[in-house]
Structure formats: C-alpha cells, structure tokens
Amino acid sequence: MRIAVIGAGPAGMTAAYEISKQLGEKVHRLDLFEKSDRVGGLAKSFHLWGQRVDLGPHRFFSHDARINSLWLEVVQGHYEIVNRQTRIYYRKKFFDYPIRPFNALRGLGIVEAARCLLSYMNERLFPTRDTSTFEGWVTSRFGKRLYRIFFKTYSEKLWGIPCTELDSDFAAQRIKKLSLLEAIKNAFFQGKDNKHATLVDQFAYPTGGTGSVYEMMQHQVESRGGKVMTGTGIERVITKNGRAVALELENGEIREYDHIVSSMPISLLVQRLPEVPEPVAVHAGSLKFRNTILVYLRVERTDLFTDQWLYIHEKSLQMGRVTNFRNWVRQIYGDSGSTILCLEYWCYFEDELWNLGSEELISMATDEIAQTGLVGREDVKEGHVEKLPRCYPVYFRGYRETMKPVEEYLSSVAHLHVIGRYGAYKYNNQDHSILMGMLAAENILEDSGHDLWAINTDYEVYQEASIITKTGLVINQTARQ
C-alpha cells in the first residue's frame, strides 16, 4: 500500500508512527505532509531564549493502557512526573482549579460564600430545566453564582460567544460528571477510586517538552523508511468515484495513494474536495474555529508563582491563561536565570486582535501581566509572538446537526480517514488524538472497522485502566466506564 498522512500533530504523527512499523511488509510507501516547519501540531515545542517551550500548557494524562503503553514506548524513559498546580486568578486572589469548595468559599468571603451556597440550594429545589447549553449544564451542577464566578467569564473569552450559545457538549466533555457534591466528595476522600478524572493532580511530562514525543516519532518513521515533509502544504485531496485516490500539493504536484489520512481542518478538507454535494459544502462552511495568539515574555525573575498555568477570570483583562514554564521540569529551562511566561489570547480572523502586530501584542501582554501584580513591567525584558489559526473547534449550539451530513459524507469516501482535533472537529486532548491515530492505522493495516468519529473527549471506556508512574505503567485489570 501507498499511504499519505496530512498533518503531523498528535493524531497524524501517531498514525504515521504506527503505520511505519509495517513499512516493507504491508506498506510500500509512507509520506507525511506538514505545512509548518516542525512536527507536533498544537503540541509542538521549540527553543526560545536558550530554553525549551511549548505552544501553551500541554499535560499528558490517560487511563487507557493502549495509549499509555505507546507513549512510554516512544519517550523511552525521558519524562518526569509533575505535581499539578493550576489555579484561577480572580479579583487578585487565587482559587484552586479544579474547584475545591472550601478553598473557593474561603476566598470569596463569608457573604459571597453564603450567596453561592444559597444559589446552589435554590438550584437543587428549582433545577434548571434546559441543560442543552453550557450555561444551563454548569448552573445545574454548581448553582448560578458559582457558574458566573468560575465558568462564565473564562468560557466566553475562549469561545467568543455567550455561554447560552455554547453547546453543553463542551461542559460534558471537559467537566464531565463533576458537580459541587462531587468536588466536596473528592475534597474529603482523596483515594483514586473516588477521584474524578478532572481532578488529576499528577501527570507525565517529557523532559524535552511536549513536542519531543512527536519529534521522537518522526525520527522512528524516518528511520524505518517513511518520509516526513515539513514545510509542505496540501492543496486538496483528489477523489474519484467515491474513493480518495491522490493528493495535490500546494506546488501543483499530484501524488497517488491507496489510503489518505487527513488531520487538516475539516472545513478546508471539504471545501477542496472535488465531488462534494453543495449541501455538505454549506454545512462544512458553517463550522467555526477559534484562533489563538500566544505572547511569550522573558521575565528576569524565577520566583513568580508556583502554578504550571493560571486561568484568568478577570473581565478587565483580555488574556485567558498564563503558562509558567519554570514550573514544569528543570530540563526545559536548565541554568537560565529567567522565566518564560506564555499569555494566551483567543479571537476570530475578523477580530481586531488577530491583526495586531507583534510589538503591539507584546506591549499589551506586558501591560496585562503587570496589572495582575504578578510581574513588574521592569522585569519583562523581551517578547515573542506565535499566531495559531483554527485551534479550537467551536461547539456552538446545534453544531451536531451541522456536523452530521459532513460526517456522513466523509465516511462515504472510501480510503479517506479523518482524525484529530482539526480534522474531526473534536475538542481532543493529546490522548484522544493519539488514540485516533492508532485506530486509523489499525483500520488501514488490519481493516479493523473502528468508528473514528466515536472517539472524543468523553471517551471513558477502557479495556484496561492504567496510569503512568515514574517507574512505568501500572495496570488495573478492571474494565471501567
């Protein structure tokens, strides 16, 4: 077989890695195309000011033994276990996240805490009926006041739409079954059998940065005879009689393949397919992605705050999250006497923010971090900007109905395998994208018939439950759901 993979993010890179194990046997040719200059997608790492940084915070955690085993196979022991600390910054105070009720109520003060508890009790007595939106779903589990304080502002910064227009799927996948009662339970009972997946307080992190996992995969693919072509964009997938048969590169070259794995943005994929029915094209064009702007600041201090990242809930600040790369693993900052912070901003293409220049963005970020009191303006020595288009698939209300005909059409195209956050329009974590890549490879090599659309961030069914520790994989043979 001749196989092409579009995109070298976690999903595409994993698919290529798994397929490359059969090069010379089942696979005659394997080509991976990546438009940017390095592999890793949203999880890539790069060198900056003598240190190593990621594109924002990326923790890896999974209970799935298949995913964890593959991850350990790739990193070859080059990782550390990090004690997670992430907090919410609100009204110049820090609140634990995931929410710990007593910490939250203490930080809010007696009067506001009482109002939050009364709001929660009112929700129990008179429950919100419409839980199809993010606002309704979260309010039903935490009460209206806690929702407004700890969920509303951040979510509307991230998505750029009111929470009444955001589908409850986002909450169901990210917050999952967590509620105020569940959070209280976990505050008292810290055993692993009680702990909600959202409350994980340790995670494995590669000593070369998150992107080093995919760089190691690239090395293995190339050593087995596959080709990883960075800086090479795809113009379109060519289909014939309902089957994917070739790629047209941006330079006009046509290459024929037996199977094509795509993790390019689904709207662009459909827009460029030659045989797409008009209604499907219209639905695909209605899908929305949110862009990210990352502003890195080199700060001449090492004692800023102890979190890996902070969620910024202040309405007066445009930034939504701040990553402190000093608090991950020592190997990425080495002997440096400075700290690199990464401030995240989210916008659409048409927003003014997206069109600001680097100097304007660095100045804005410096002003905003100074306003928090965490860093003085005089401590910021230089900045760097990365603009990332189409990072987050927007779960607008009713998006499933928009997606359905797109999914059905792409599923009907033989030998086309659509995966990844961009490619499948799913708000995946790394582990879910890795799983998509693994299963796509199995579908091609073994004709396994996995439904790739069914893999999502609410995926919690495991053949074996496991966890990565410093000494390797620990498996619990009990199946979970």
Kindly report, residue by residue over 131-161, the tens digit of the pLDDT.
999 999 999 988 999 899 889 999 999 999 9
Tell whether 101 and 173 lie within a shared domain. Answer: yes
pLDDT band at 197 (very low <50, low <70, confident <90, very high): very low
Pairing of strands 234-240, 93-97: unpaired
213 vs 91, residue with greater confidence: 213
407 and 267, same structural domain?
Answer: yes
Rg of the chain on CA atoms, in Å? 23
Paired with 237 in beta bridges are 247
Looking at 393, 421, 441, which one is the last position of a domain?
A: 393
Residue 177 has pLDDT above 70, yes or no: no
Q: Identify whether 127 is part of a domain.
A: yes
Asked whether residue 232 is domain-assigned, the answer is yes
Q: Quick one: tokens of 186? A: 């976990």
Q: Flag whether pLDDT at 342 surpasses 90.
A: yes
Distance CA 117, CA 127 (A): 14
192, 61 contact by CB (below 8 A): no
Lowest mean pLDDT among 34-48, 70-84, 186-200, 416-430: 186-200
What is the domain count for the chain? 3
CA atoms of 96 and 94, how far apart (whole Å): 7
Percentage of residues in the chain having pLDDT higher than 70: 91
- Does position 129 have pLDDT exceeding 60, yes or no? yes
Residues 389 and 294 in one domain: yes
Instruction: Give the helix ranges, DSSP H, for 63-152.
Output: 65-75, 101-108, 110-125, 134-142, 144-147
Q: Assess whether pLDDT exceeds 70 at residue 205.
A: yes
Q: Tell me what pLDDT residue 196 has.
A: 47
Please say if the pLDDT value at position 312 is more than 90: yes
CATH number at 276 reads 3.50.50.60
Whether 183 shows a pLDDT value over 70: the answer reads no
- 272 and 255 in a single domain? The answer is yes
Residue that finishes a domain, picked among 343, 363, 393: 393
**Averaged over 369-398, what is the pLDDT?**
95
**CATH code of 382's domain:** 3.90.660.20
Rounded to whole angstroms, the Cα distance separating 157 from 377 reads 24
The alpha helices in 257-323, defined as continuous H runs, are 266-271, 278-285
Cα–Cα dist 120/143, whole Å: 4
What does the pLDDT read at residue 480? 42
Q: What is the mean pLDDT of residues 170-174?
A: 76
> Among 179-193, 247-261, 316-330, 335-349, whose mean pLDDT is lowest?
179-193
Sequence-ordered list of residues with C-beta below 8 angstroms from that of 161, at least 6 positions apart, any chain: 394, 396
Same domain (yes/no): 345, 407 = no
**282/297 same-domain check:** no
Does the residue 213 lie in any domain? yes
User: How do residues 395-449 score in pLDDT, each as one tens digit?
Assistant: 999 999 999 999 999 999 999 999 999 999 999 889 999 999 999 999 999 999 9
Looking at the domain assignment, is residue 281 inside a domain? yes
Query: Which of 128-132, 187-191, 344-348: highest mean pLDDT?
Result: 344-348
> Would the pLDDT of 200 be above 80?
no
266 shares its domain with 298: no
Residue-wise pLDDT tens digits, 207-240: 999 999 999 999 999 999 999 999 999 999 999 9
Clarify whether residues 299 and 380 are in a common domain.
yes
Mean per-residue pLDDT of the chain: 90
Residues 69 and 116 both lie in one domain:
no
- Does residue 245 form part of some domain? yes
Structure tokens given for 258: 């037996």
* pLDDT at res. 191: 45
Average pLDDT over residues 248-268: 96
Mean pLDDT over 22-37 rounds to 96
Q: What is the mean pLDDT of residues 253-275?
A: 95
Residue 187 has pLDDT above 70, yes or no: no
Let me know if residue 353 belongs to a domain.
yes
Amino acid at 212: S
- Answer yes or no: are the C-beta atoms of 15 and 217 closer than 8 Å: no
pLDDT at residue 18 tops 90: yes
**Whether 212 and 253 share a structural domain:** yes
Q: Say how far apart CA 247 and CA 4 lie, in whole Å.
A: 8
Range of the domain at 23: 2-78+208-287+396-460
Q: What is the pLDDT of residue 462?
A: 44
Q: Mean pLDDT over residues 77-92, rounded?
A: 92
Residue 392 pairs in a beta bridge with 290
| pLDDT for position 100 | 75
Task: Say if 467 falls within a structural domain.
Answer: no
Give the CA count within 13 Å in the CB-facing half-sphere of 41.
29
Same domain, 233 and 374: no
Whether residue 478 lies inside any domain: the answer is no
The yes-or-no verdict on residue 172 having pLDDT over 90 is no
Residues 297 and 369 in one domain: yes
d(CA 276, CA 239): 10
Q: Of 33, 44, 94, give the one whose Cα is nearest residue 251.
A: 33
pLDDT > 90 in the chain, percent: 78
